[in-house]
């Protein structure tokens, strides 16, 4: 992790000036001492670290509006932050900006069971939504592995997915409306509780925009009745290729499982040692396939998936006997990241998406890339939609290994794009993939995206330096280059 030098006198003075001004808006929610801001200096992508000038913790939309309006008038950069679980550096602070921490926005405001809608604040955790409506037999479908900690606001920013997104979608189709505050303090309401809204689909624009367009202060989300029945199959295969071909065959057969996840041998062994979920440690690939719905429908899907798996050389097949065992099957998958953390000093989680037909070839290429850099890898991924999460294992205490892990990650992402895929499935671009954007997008594509950013935030104050390899500013589209994700930069404009 990169350590930053102690702030100089000018930074200390500027910090005091900003803190005094913002304390007039949020009297009990401004942190400006070096020790206090330190916990906000990184998100889940801990390769990079940067302390902000100050952290502001508002409680109301009016306070968010006033803080942003002040920052806009005084040209202070702002990074909005939820729970900080982002894995792309999306919530990485700026040395010359503030963090707007939304953790105090932690209430579920209303639930309408008749219309299957919940209105929640952005600091509410993903799992808390499901827990709040469970007694009435409802739940919130998107379920990232970090759902116990990640916040709804962050889910909206990254269009987060989860192990059940194959059937139920990522955040986007489960998001009905937001309250959004623009950088000048304007408060907008986009979408609403109904299925369709008039006008341009600005809600679709905001979901997945990584905090570049505005700050979400309220979200209206879809809740669903919990399926009557859910059962999972645990399937072991002798090769990754067999499992990958099985995935393609299941989808080709017209079956849309509630979940279809895969892990390779290193991930299987790490998860089994950690959770004791009954995973076949001899297998080279493990698949978890789940069917849910009416009991007869589940019986039929489970039987068809099992038959397809046997046709693809499945050598271990276990069906969940009850709800406890089904949850245990998933516990190993959802704990895979911390499980790998027990066998590696450090790991770098990569996030790319490929066509399902390319799974076997790209996984083989990933192994070759990591081996060339002298590192290890464990693969955990959403097989049904081709969203890969290679965990590149390295030791940050060994000179050169952090750089090797970053280089391997970049090669993996390029391989995903070259195979017909994209740079990210659910973790976002942030600073991690920003300099790889030209590998997927041409100059015209990037300019159009930049102009869209300018339409919302002409001065480039919101989450500055994220997503775009060169961030367009103002009508002239002058470029400010941000290099390699390490802050602060001598070529960035300073106060």
Q: Give the pLDDT means over successive 10-residue stretches in the chain (495 positions).
A: 63 89 96 94 87 97 98 97 94 95 98 97 98 98 94 97 93 97 97 81 95 98 97 97 95 96 97 96 97 97 98 98 96 93 94 94 97 97 94 96 96 98 94 96 95 96 92 35 34 31
Query: Do residues 251 and 257 lie in contact, with contact meaning Cβ atoms separated by under 8 Å?
Result: no
Query: Do residues 89 and 45 lie in contact, with contact meaning Cβ atoms separated by under 8 Å?
Result: yes
- Do residues 155 and 113 both lie within one domain? yes
Query: Do residues 198 and 416 lie in contact, with contact meaning Cβ atoms separated by under 8 Å?
Result: no
- Chain-centroid distance, C-alpha 462: 18
| Inside any domain, residue 480 | no
Q: Give pTM, 2 decimals.
A: 0.90
- Chain-centroid distance, C-alpha 440: 19
- Do residues 158 and 191 both lie within one domain? yes
User: Residue 465, SS3?
Assistant: coil
- Do residues 183 and 202 both lie within one domain? yes
| Inside any domain, residue 62 | yes
Q: How far apart are CA 40 and CA 51, in angstroms?
A: 7
- Do residues 152 and 97 both lie within one domain? no
Return the percent helix, strand and coil in the chain, to nearest 5. 35, 20, 40
- Do residues 133 and 217 both lie within one domain? yes
- Do residues 212 and 315 both lie within one domain? no
Using alpha carbons, select from 216, 212, 179 the residue that is nearest to residue 462. 212
Q: How far apart are CA 216 and CA 123, in angstroms?
A: 10
Dmax over Cα atoms in the chain, in whole Å?
70
**CATH number for 252:** 3.30.70.3450
- Do residues 78 and 128 both lie within one domain? no
Q: How many distinct structural domains can be found in the chain?
A: 4
Taking each helix axis from N to C end, the angle separating 9-23 and 61-74, rounded to the nearest 10 degrees, works out to: 140
467 DSSP assignment:
S
| Inside any domain, residue 269 | yes
46 DSSP assignment:
T
Which pLDDT belongs to residue 479? 31
| Inside any domain, residue 453 | no
Tokens 């102009």 belong to 451
How far is residue 295 from each of residues 7, 200, 229, measured CA to CA in Å? 62, 41, 6
Q: Which two tokens stand for residue 39?
A: 């916990």
| Inside any domain, residue 1 | no
Q: How far apart are CA 382 and CA 69, in angstroms?
A: 41
Which pLDDT belongs to residue 263? 97
Domain carrying residue 50 = 9-101
Domain boundary residue, one of 72, 101, 130? 101
357 DSSP assignment:
G
DSSP string across 299-352: HHHHHHHHHHHHHTT--EEEE--SHHHHHHHHHHHHTHHHHHHTT-SEEEE--E
Q: Which two tokens stand for residue 285?
A: 């690939």
Q: How far apart are CA 337 and CA 270, in angstroms?
A: 9
Using alpha carbons, select from 168, 132, 128 the residue that is nearest to residue 152. 128
- DSSP bridge pairs for 316: 236
| Inside any domain, residue 263 | yes
Domain boundary residue, one of 157, 191, 225? 225
């Amino acid at each position: 992790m990169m350590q930053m030098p102690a702030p100089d006198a000018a930074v200390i003075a500027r910090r005091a000036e900003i803190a005094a001004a913002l304390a007039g808006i949020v009297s009990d929610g401004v942190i400006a001492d070096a020790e206090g801001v330190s916990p906000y200096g990184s998100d889940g992508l801990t390769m990079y670290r940067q302390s902000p000038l100050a952290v502001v913790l508002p409680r109301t939309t009016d306070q968010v509006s006033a803080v942003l309006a002040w920052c806009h008038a005084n040209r202070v950069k702002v990074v909005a932050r939820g729970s900080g679980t982002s894995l792309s550096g999306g919530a990485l602070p700026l040395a010359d900006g503030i963090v707007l921490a939304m953790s105090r926005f932690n209430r579920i405001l209303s639930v309408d069971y008749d219309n299957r809608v919940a209105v929640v604040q952005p600091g509410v955790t993903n799992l808390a939504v499901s827990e709040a409506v469970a007694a009435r037999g409802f739940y919130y479908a998107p379920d990232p592995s970090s759902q116990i900690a990640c916040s709804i606001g962050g889910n909206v920013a990254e269009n987060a997915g989860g192990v059940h997104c194959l059937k139920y979608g990522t955040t986007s189709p489960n998001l009905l409306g937001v309250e959004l505050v623009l950088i000048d303090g304007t408060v907008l309401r986009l979408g609403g509780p109904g299925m369709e809204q008039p006008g341009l689909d600005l809600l679709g624009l905001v979901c997945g925009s990584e905090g570049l367009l505005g700050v979400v202060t309220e979200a209206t989300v879809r809740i669903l009745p919990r399926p009557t029945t859910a059962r999972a199959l645990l399937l072991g295969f002798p090769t990754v290729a067999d499992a990958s071909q099985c995935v393609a065959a299941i989808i080709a057969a017209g079956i849309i499982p509630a979940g279809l996840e895969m892990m390779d041998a290193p991930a299987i062994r790490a998860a089994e040692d950690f959770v004791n979920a009954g995973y076949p440690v001899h297998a080279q690939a493990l698949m978890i396939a789940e069917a849910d719905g009416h009991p007869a429908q589940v019986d039929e899907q489970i039987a068809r998936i099992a038959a397809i798996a046997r046709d693809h050389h499945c050598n271990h097949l276990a069906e969940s006997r009850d709800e406890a065992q089904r949850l245990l099957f998933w516990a190993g998958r959802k704990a895979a990241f911390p499980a790998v953390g027990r066998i590696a000093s450090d790991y770098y989680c990569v996030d790319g998406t490929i066509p399902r037909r390319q799974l076997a070839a790209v996984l083989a290429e990933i192994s070759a890339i990591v081996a060339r850099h002298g590192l290890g890898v464990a693969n955990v991924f959403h097989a049904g939609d081709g969203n890969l999460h290679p965990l590149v294992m390295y030791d940050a205490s060994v000179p050169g290994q952090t750089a090797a892990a970053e280089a391997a990650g970049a090669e993996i992402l390029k391989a995903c794009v070259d195979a017909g895929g994209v740079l990210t499935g659910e973790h976002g671009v942030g600073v991690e993939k920003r300099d790889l954007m030209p590998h997927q997008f041409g100059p015209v594509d990037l300019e159009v995206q930049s102009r869209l950013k300018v339409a919302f935030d002409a001065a480039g104050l919101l989450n500055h330096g994220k997503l775009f390899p060169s961030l367009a500013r103002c009508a002239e589209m002058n470029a400010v280059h941000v290099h390699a994700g390490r802050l602060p930069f001598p070529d960035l404009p300073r106060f």
